Structure 1
């Protein structure tokens, strides 16, 4: 029997992409509200409590409100794509490669990782856990993303102003992804995070520069790459790749993808390294991650419906 899914916030970019990945799948039936009832609290409450799974594609406050609309004792299981519950007690972080597939599969409340933090955590968590990088070092992370990650307002801004070549933000050093980066890697200090948006609809590059010669206890780049390859050896979504071209390109024509590719670059002496994650901010960085968790929670193959 098909499981019912209600996407609260289905008109937004993330919700639309999730619905697209679920369309035509016999395992799920989407519960929908027409435009007149989409923001009606009683209609939303009914749908949230009727569904087997609720996926929240909402701003943080609205996501908390949606969770409060679910009755105590309800069987509805929730995936929240907002920032609201990523470090909250009682929620499972929806990154099965990091927290374990069984943990996600058995969870009643799952918080979707942020797009930037997905790349950072994917690179750092295995290395810190293995003792190849110290948890006490003050790390830095640089990243660029396509403008679709900023929602309708930022999409409209970029598409109406073709003169924008680069938009740096988070300049007050309080980006909302930092708490989950620190928590789920186990760092002593929050990383210094420098995010930016570029004039491409989708796609993302996350980079962590490492001055290895100055980091006491750091492993060699070769050891780090081998550990990442070992850690993700059984993942159908995350892979460790080679790059022999001397450059990485993020193309505007890059098709939608739910994969994530990891790279380790280093100088000849092994004194400096650059850890790089290449992913789709709307794929593994948002909608694809939600569907991957949904598949596991429903007892299905984790890549069903994904663009791998």
Structure 2
């Protein structure tokens, strides 16, 4: 029986993790009463008593909780952005390569990827790691997400004001081009320059589409869109949660439209490739609360404990 403590269990991601774990007979959840959720002494005891602690906290609070851990056997999985570029933390995206999966298996410190970064890295990392895309390629990306990605405050805003015309439309944000997921996107994919990244929030609760346009002639290896699709198909052929969909979307399109919500409630990430001989569009579809947050955390926990990574997912 593994003891698991979710620090920040009242938040959107924390609640989803609890829902995924509460019915497992191999997990004993350590739960603090509401009045002790922010009590440092109670948290320290819970963290050091646990086999796994999952942090669903703001960055500074996550750093403080990591500092409370004195038990060298406790595995910490941090869902904040605080440690995603920290060399002492394994980056928790096992499907990227055997090296990533092995680091998760052997590390006591794991950084859960950001939701936008998950879709981005799933598409870009294989290209840069294989040398198809140069590390100096001028990458651009956009990502449309459900409003649950903004946490409790944004959820409350949409619940209260969601009928306003301005909130019924997709809304661009982080227009200073310094989104908090950019450091991990650049580091994980070994990009020399940060991507020009445009996130967009939409009036859906959850769901996500991350799109990366590619000018084929700028690649190190000249490939058509269909050849790039074949590359992804081979790259992810042994992965359960990353699914490379048929070229051009085909049956996934609804009257020519690609919906953002079809992975909701799952830990799947679907990769689509569209285009022709000169241009390619790669799109990752995922649940921002699933593979983009709580699902990934549970998957990383399973891997770190040496369990079947699909349990609860």
Q: Is the pair's TM-score, using the shorter chain for normalization, greater than 0.5?
A: yes
Following the alignment from structure 1 to structure 2, what is the Cα–Cα distance between the partners of residues 102 and 137? 28
1:208 and 1:274 in contact (8 A); partners too: yes
Tell me what 1:263 maps to: 272
Q: CA offset at residue 100 of structure 1?
A: 3.1
2:263 and 2:269 in contact (8 A); partners too: no
Tell me what 1:19 maps to: 18
Match of 2:300 among 271, 279, 293: 293
List gaps (5 residues or longer) in structure 2. none
2:89 and 2:111 in contact (8 A); partners too: yes
Segment drifting more, 98-107 vs 185-194: 98-107
Following the alignment from structure 2 to structure 1, what is the Cα–Cα distance between the partners of residues 218 and 257? 26
Following the alignment from structure 2 to structure 1, what is the Cα–Cα distance between the partners of residues 87 and 292? 22
Alignment pair present for 1:220 and 2:224: yes
Q: CA offset at residue 215 of structure 1?
A: 4.5
Tell me what 2:51 maps to: 52
Segment drifting more, 129-138 vs 230-239: 129-138
Matches within 5 A, 1:1-308: 2-71=1-70, 73-98=71-96, 99-162=99-162, 163=164, 164=167, 165-215=169-219, 217-242=221-246, 243-244=249-250, 245=253, 246-251=256-261, 255-267=264-276, 270-306=277-313
Q: CA offset at residue 305 of structure 1?
A: 0.4
Give the TM-score of the pair, scaled to structure 2: 0.93
Would you say how many aligned residue pairs link Structure 1 and Structure 2?
Answer: 301
Change (3 A) 1:254 1:74: closer
Q: CA offset at residue 127 of structure 1?
A: 1.3
Q: CA offset at residue 257 of structure 1?
A: 1.3
1:120 and 1:277 in contact (8 A); partners too: yes
Give the TM-score of the pair, scaled to structure 1: 0.94
List gaps (5 residues or longer) in structure 1. none
Q: Secondary structure at the match of 1:55?
A: strand
Alignment root-mean-square deviation, CA? 1.4
